[in-house]
Amino acid sequence: MNKPPIREGFVKDEPVEIEATATETPPPPLPEDEWPLIVPLRKPISRNGSAHDMVKELSFREPTTGDLLTAGGNPVGVEMTELNSAGDAIYNWKMDDAKMVRLMASLSGILEPFLKKMDPRDYTTAAYRLRRFFMPG
């Protein structure tokens, strides 16, 4: 008498149909930024130290080379983090936060000390929106 092999959990083998899954499609490209670039803030900040002059969104004009020089250089760079045996390189985008805040001050007209009081989530949102400008298309 042939007994079927006992599987873990004593479950009888049954054929399983595997449905073909659709191949993943790449995400749609990010929309082109329009200038001025408007970034709403979670927490308003003061424009000039006055509680009566609060800003609820940052408005950035398009950067120029002069803005980069004023900020101390390009706030976004790339570094190679790994080179595998097949010769494929893996890159990591790096952001220099000090340069980014200086650039934000130039582009928004809000002094750097007031931008430094931003909620970190607001800073990150604005910095990553601006970062796209400096990445190759």
> Which residues, in sequence order, are CB contacts of 126 under 8 Å at separation 6+?
39, 58, 60, 104, 118
Q: Give pLDDT, residue 52.
A: 86
Closest CA to 72 of 96, 107, 92, 93: 96
**How many angstroms separate the CA atoms of 38 and 57, rounded?**
7
pTM value is: 0.73
**Domain parsing of the chain, residue ranges:** 33-82+90-134
Question: Residue for token digits 């200086």?
Answer: 102
The reported pLDDT for the residue numbered 6 is: 60
Q: What is the pLDDT of residue 91?
A: 86
How do the residues of the chain divide into helix, strand and coil, expressed in percent and rounded to 5? 30, 25, 45
- Running along the chain, 137 residues long, what does each successive block of 10 average in pLDDT? 62 65 67 88 90 93 97 94 86 94 97 96 97 85
Predicted local distance difference test score (pLDDT) of residue 117: 95
What would the pLDDT profile of 50-76 be if each residue is shown by its tens digit? 888 999 999 999 999 999 999 999 999
SS (H, E, C) 54-112: EEEEEEECCCCHHHHHHHCCCCEEEEEEEECCCCCEEEEEEECHHHHHHHHHHHHCCCH
